[in-house]
Amino acid sequence: MSTGSAPHPKRWIPTYIVLLASLLILAAALALQYLRTGSDSYLVSAAFVAVIAVYTAWSFARLITLKVTPRSLMTLLKCPSCGHEVVRRYREGDMLFSELDACPKCGSKMVAEGIFLKEEKH
Ligand SMILES: [Zn+2]
- Beta-carbon neighbours within 5 Å of ion ligand 1: 79, 81-82, 84, 103, 105-106, 108
Pairing of strands 71-78, 85-89: antiparallel
73 forms bridges with which residues in the sheet? 117
Distance (Å) of CA 82 to CA 85, 88, 89, 97: 9, 18, 22, 16
Helix axes 13-37, 40-65, angle to 10 degrees: 160
For 28-44, write each residue's pLDDT tens digit: 999 999 999 989 999 99
Which residue from 67, 74, 59, 63 is spatially nearest to 23, judged by alpha carbons? 59
For 47-93, write each residue's pLDDT tens digit: 999 999 999 888 888 877 777 778 889 999 999 999 999 999 999 99
Domains of the chain: which residue ranges?
Answer: 9-65, 71-119
Q: What is the pTM of this model?
A: 0.47
Distance 100 CA to ligand 1 centre (A): 12
Distance 111 CA to ligand 1 centre (A): 10
